[in-house]
Amino acid sequence: MNPMPDPRLPAPDDAVPHDAAPPADPVPRVRGLRLGRVAGVEIRLDRSWFLIAALTVVMYGPVLWRVYPELGWLNLVVALGFAVGLAVSVLVHELAHAAAGRRAGWPVDRIVLTLMGGHTTFGTVRARPLATAVVSLAGPLSNVVLAVVGELLLRGAPDGSAGPWWALAELLVLANWVLGVFNLLPGLPLDGGRVVEALVWAVTRSESRGTAVAAWCGRGIAALLALWVLWTQQWRQPSVLVVSLLVIGFIVVGAGQALRQARLMGTLDAVRADRIARPALEFSPVTPLSVVDATVAAATGDDYRGWVPDVVARDDARGTVGVLDPSLAVRVPDAHRARTGLGDVCRWYPREAVVTGGVAGGELARRMEGARRQWLWVVDDAGHVTGVVHHEDLARHALRG
């Protein structure tokens, strides 16, 4: 349980200076209520969580009311406390994923608590089977640990301990057992499915094949759960039926998304960076735009039938690489182009935006999406730029596949 508006363009005389901080790619707006940060990780509460909180109160409030009628409306507060406690358990689950991911060298972006639990978003990740399995197991194992600790505390409580708060504690212990064990089931989108994915990936050396196998296992789990609901006639209980349908729907949708991702990655992995890259011409960042214009015009004469080359520059002192942004360059008047340097109209990014020609399309997609980049440089073994891979070209190739 485990996309991009254009930035506002500067006026003609306000081209981004080369000595300013490199502009970041546009960042999509993050939905949900920001709760704060834990260990440096942003925590957000999606609006859908309030639906599951309301459902929890509706389901458990009447039960508690029948057991503790003397408490009256306070029973609803206790039921709400269970919803909050469950959210905290999910948060521990996701923080365990985040901690394990950091140990594996994965940058952690944020944690979002949602209707069906939560998810941890990582930045650009070069995943490997072992790291994927370890990070995936960390979440459910943290809930098992919480459940064991809770059991020990309840057993050590003084005799005669009872009441609604005791019932709440027992419910939270049970919830952590369910979170831990259920998420260990071997099918996507559950954490156990990631372990299956990693195992198949390690054996076949194909991540997309591992994803596909784990997704089909997830569909099998959903089918078995539906049969269990029918066989045991749990569908006669409205509350159980609603929860079961939510869980089954969550698994079916997640498994379907994983299968589509596997097909997409299989298609992308058939192409390499040097085959999809557009040609590029490299200049110094201080090269006047007028010189760049003349060079590109000469390289794309009347007989030229290919892509217009991308214009690129690098700044080794700053450890950045850049690609000319036509929307910035076109705003520089002809009279100013001889004294405007190429670096002033480039989009600059860290050196991590550089790949070699043999990198597969799936890895290109991960690096672009993880860092929200629109393009990647392609270099040869000597470090000379040979082309630029654009996000839209990679997407177009995936759609053709």
The residues carrying an active-site annotation are: 94
CB atoms within 10 A of CB 111: 24
- Going by DSSP bridges, is the β-strand pair 375-379/280-283 parallel, antiparallel, or unpaired? unpaired
CA atoms of 244 and 249, how far apart (whole Å):
8
Going by the annotation, the residues of the binding site for Zn(2+) are 93, 97, 191
Question: Three-state SS string across the chain, please?
Answer: CCCCCCCCCCCHHHCCCCCCCCCCCCCCCCCCEEEEEECCEEEEECCCHHHHHHHHHHHHHHHHHHHCHHHCCHHHHHHHHHHHHHHHHHHHHHHHHHHHHHHCCCCEEEEEEECCEEEEEECCCCCCHHHHHHHHHHHHHHHHHHHHHHHHHHHCCCCCCCCHHHHHHHHHHHHHHHHHHHHCCCCCCCHHHHHHHHHHHHHHCCHHHHHHHHHHHHHHHHHHHHHHHHHCCHHHCHHHHHHHHHHHHHHHHHHHHHHHHHHHHHHHCCCEHHHHCECEEEECCCCEHHHHHHHHHHHCCCCCCCCCCEEEEEECCCCEEEEECHHHHCCCCHHHHHHCEHHHHEEEEEHHHEEECCCEHHHHHHHHHHHCCCEEEEECCCCCEEEEEEHHHHHHHHHHC
End-to-end CA distance of the chain: give it in Å, rounded. Answer: 30
Q: Which of 48, 73, 49 is nearest to 62 (CA)?
A: 73
Quick check: 98 and 111 in contact, CB under 8 A?
Answer: yes
Residue 386's φ and ψ, nearest 5 degrees, are: -115, -15
Q: Give Dmax over CA atoms of the chain in angstroms.
A: 93
